[in-house]
Amino acid sequence: MPDAPGLELIAQGIEKGRDGTVIETSTEHGRATLIVNPDGVLHALSWLRDTPEQGYRFLSSVHAADYLPATPRFAVHYELLCRERMERLNVKALLADPAAGDESNGAAATEKLPELDSCVALYPTAEYQEREAYDFFGIVFRGHPDLRRILMPEDYVGWPQRRDYPIGGEPVLFTHNEIEAPRWFE
């Protein structure tokens, strides 16, 4: 991973092309992370890929996360790898939940999904991984060639990995919830 000054230099390089792209840098947990504006994701990724002295040409993972109750709620993580120097760099795009705050609309509110530019044109490997993020978190990737569910059944309703999604299954009686049904065995 690039050290803290190196990360600042990268952030400055990205900012040179377009102001306001990098919101924050972080080196916590031994991971260099650029937190970027969702509008500038493609700019940051293409700068990191195409600048000769950076050369982050390998995208090892794209995944989403739900940070409820934090705002902005969602984040999409891009984990980049420079194979020449074996350096890893994370790019994190924070996404607000467009459905937050208007529960009065009911079903219509849940149809408002967060959107982000697709990076399939830059990294073809992102195609399936963006589909997975869409499948589980309902994050719409603009410009994705074939955005549909990948692991859940095609007619599935809902975004099961969101933190406010019910876990499902059937209630099972253990000793810790026995109080709710005393002497259930009689």
Partner 1 sequence: MEVERESLRARQLRARDLLRGDLEGRDLEEYVEERLLTTTLENVLNWGRSNALFPMTFGLACCAIEMMSMVTSRYDIARFGAEAFRASPRQADMLILSGRVSVKMAPVVRRVYDQMLEPKWVIAMGACSSSGGMFANYAVVQGADKFMPVDIHVPGCPPRPEALLHGFNKLQRLVRGEPDLGWRERYNAAGTEEWARFESGEPTKEALERAARAVEGIEDA
Contact residues toward partner 1 (CB under 8 A) are: 151-153, 156, 158, 160, 165-170, 172
Q: Which is nearer to partner 1, 88 or 149 (CB)?
A: 149
Cβ-contact 40, 96 below 8 angstroms:
no
Q: Which is nearer to partner 1, 121 or 173 (CB)?
A: 173
Strand-pairing partners, residue 140, are: 115
Cα–Cα distance measured from residue 154 to residue 85, given in angstroms and rounded to the nearest whole number: 41
CB of 177 to partner 1, least distance (A): 13
CB of 99 to partner 1, least distance (A): 20
Q: Which is nearer to partner 1, 128 or 165 (CB)?
A: 165
Q: Which is nearer to partner 1, 145 or 158 (CB)?
A: 158
In the chain, the amino acid numbered 123 is: Y
26: DSSP letter? E
**Rounded to whole angstroms, what are the CA distances from 56 to 14, 83, 88, 90, 144?**
13, 7, 8, 10, 21
Q: Which is nearer to partner 1, 69 or 166 (CB)?
A: 166
Dihedrals phi, psi of 146, to nearest 5 degrees: -155, 70
CB of 137 to partner 1, least distance (A): 14
CB of 136 to partner 1, least distance (A): 10
CB of 153 to partner 1, least distance (A): 5
- For residue 144, give every residue at least 6 positions away whose Cβ sits within 8 Å of its Cβ, in sequence order, or none: 118, 120, 127, 130, 131, 134
- Residue 28's nearest CA partner among 4, 63, 62, 57 is 4
